[in-house]
Amino acid sequence: MFDRLPEYPWKSLEPFAAKAAAHPGGAVDLSVGSPVDPTPAIIQDALNAASNAPGYPSTAGSAEFRQAVVEWFERRRKVSGLKPTQVMPTIGSKELISWLPLMLGLGPGDVVVQPKVAYTAYVVGAALCGAEIVSEDDPAKWPENSKLIWINSPGNPDGRVLDVEHMRAAVDRARELGALLASDECYAELGWGKWSTELIPSVLDPRVCGTSHHGVLAVYSLSKQSNMAGYRAAFAVGEEALIKALVNLRMHSGLNTPNPVQKAMAVALADEEHVAIEKEIYRQRRDVLLAAVRAYGFELSDSQAGLYLWATLGEDCWKTVDRMAELGIVVVPGTFYGEHSTQHVRFSITATDKNIAEAAQRLHDAIGLSKA
C-alpha cells in the first residue's frame, strides 16, 4: 500500500550534493526554495502575543484572520466582494494541494490536470487517490473526465505568469467540464521585469472569473513573501459552498491551523512594508545570480516571477546537475517537474547573500571571467 508514490525525488540528488560538498569551498545549495532570512519582528511579536492558546483553533479560521485575507485580496490582488466565509486557513499550501483530490472524492477513472512543467505536489495528490494525472497547458486539450485542474501562476519551477486571457480561458473550460479549477498563486507578490509593477492576475479576479466564484479556488502561502515557511501559514479562497464543504471535511480530520499562527498571518497580511523589503533583498540576489548564470552560457526560460531561475544549457538536465556539482553548486534537475523538462535545471535564489555571491563567483571563474 505504500508503493503508490516513488521515493521523495530529492533523495536522488544526494550523490551530487556529496560531489558539491567535496569542492574546496564546500557546497552552495541552490536546490531548495526554503527562506533563509529572519521572520519579520512584527510577525514574531504577533505569534508571541497569541501564544497563550489553550483551546482548539477554529478549522474555518478566526474572524480576524478571514477578514485580513478578504482585505488583502482587495488591496493587493484587486479582488473585491469576497466574504469571510469564502476563506479557509491551511497547514501550508502543500498540505491542501496534496490532499485536495482525496477530499473531493476523486479516484480511479477521474483525471487531475497539472501544468506541463509542474510543482511535484499535484501528481502526489492524484496518486494518493488513484486518479489519473494529465500534464497539459492548453485548456482546449483537457480531457472530458477532468475533475480537478491545477494552474500555477507564477509557476514553480519555471516562474511563468499567466495573463488574464489564458486564465479566463482556463476558467471557462473548467466550468464547461464541470471541473474545479484550482490556482496555485503562492509567488504573486514576487514579480520581476514588467511584473514588478503590473498586477499578477488571480483566478478570483473578476476579469478572469466574472462576477461568480463558482468552480474556482485560489491557494496562497506566506512562506515566501513573509519568511513564514516554518509557520505553515497558508490559506485557500474560493466558492463559498466548496469552502464550507472542505472546512467540514477538515474538521472531521483534525486539520486546523493553530490560533497563534492565524494571528501571525493576520498581522503579516496587514503589513506591506516587510514584503517590499524582502522582495528587494530577493531582487538583488536574483540580479547577481542571473548575470552569472547567463555569463556561463545558460539560456533563461520564463522566470518572470518567483524565487527561481529556470535555465538550460541545451543538454540533458542531469548532465547539467553534474556540471554544477563540479563547481560545488547544487541545483535541481528539470525531470523533477515532469517529462517536458528534461533539459532545464532550477536555481533557487533563497540563499544568503554570501552564498549567492559565492555561486556567482564560481560560475564566472569557470569561464575565466571575473565578477565586475
In this structure, the answer to whether residues 210 and 327 fall within a common structural domain is no
Query: Could you give the CA distance from residue 46 to residue 190 in angstroms, rounded to a whole number?
Result: 24
pLDDT tens, residue order, the chain (372 aa): 566 676 777 788 999 999 999 999 999 999 988 999 999 999 999 999 999 999 999 999 999 999 999 999 999 999 999 999 999 999 999 999 999 999 999 999 999 999 999 999 999 999 999 999 999 999 999 999 999 999 999 999 999 999 999 999 999 999 999 999 999 999 999 999 999 999 999 999 999 999 999 999 999 999 999 999 999 999 999 999 999 999 999 999 999 999 999 999 999 999 999 999 999 999 999 999 999 999 999 999 999 999 999 999 999 999 999 999 999 999 999 999 999 999 999 999 999 999 999 999 999 999 875 433
Q: 33 and 65 in one domain?
A: no
Query: Is residue 2, in this structure, part of any structural domain at all?
Result: no
Residues 334 and 221 grouped into a single domain: no
Supply the pLDDT for residue 92: 94
Among 271, 288, 313, where does a domain finish?
271
pLDDT of residue 98: 95
Same domain, 254 and 284: no
Burial 89-117 (b: 16+ CB within 10 A, else e): bbbbbbbbbbbbbbbbebeeebbbbbbbb
Phi-psi group of 297: left, alpha or beta (phi > 0 → left; psi -120 to 50 → alpha; rest → beta):
left
On whether the CB atoms of residues 145 and 131 are closer than 8 A, the answer is no
Q: Is residue 3 part of a domain?
A: no
Task: Let me know whether 216 and 312 are in one domain.
Answer: no
Domain total of the chain: 2
Domain co-membership, 194 together with 264? yes
Give this prediction's pTM: 0.93
Q: What is the CATH number of the domain that holds 54?
A: 3.40.640.10
Range of the domain at 250: 41-271
- Summarize pLDDT for 201-224 with one digit per residue, the tens: 999 999 999 999 999 999 999 999
258 and 349, same domain (yes or no)? no
Question: What is the reported pLDDT for 9?
Answer: 75
Structural domain contains residue 206: yes
Last residue of a domain, which of 271, 290, 325? 271
On whether both 63 and 113 belong to a single domain, the answer is yes
Last residue of a domain, one of 236, 253, 271: 271
Same domain, 192 and 51: yes
Calculate helix-pair angle for 41-49, 259-270, nearest 10 degrees: 150
Query: Is 372 part of a structural domain of the chain?
Result: no
According to the model, what pLDDT value does residue 3 have? 66
Q: Are residues 66 and 134 in the same domain?
A: yes
The pLDDT, as a whole number, for residue 2 is: 60
Do 59 and 29 lie in one domain? The reply is no
SS3 assignment, position 298:
coil
pLDDT of residue 336: 93
CATH of the domain at 16: 3.90.1150.10
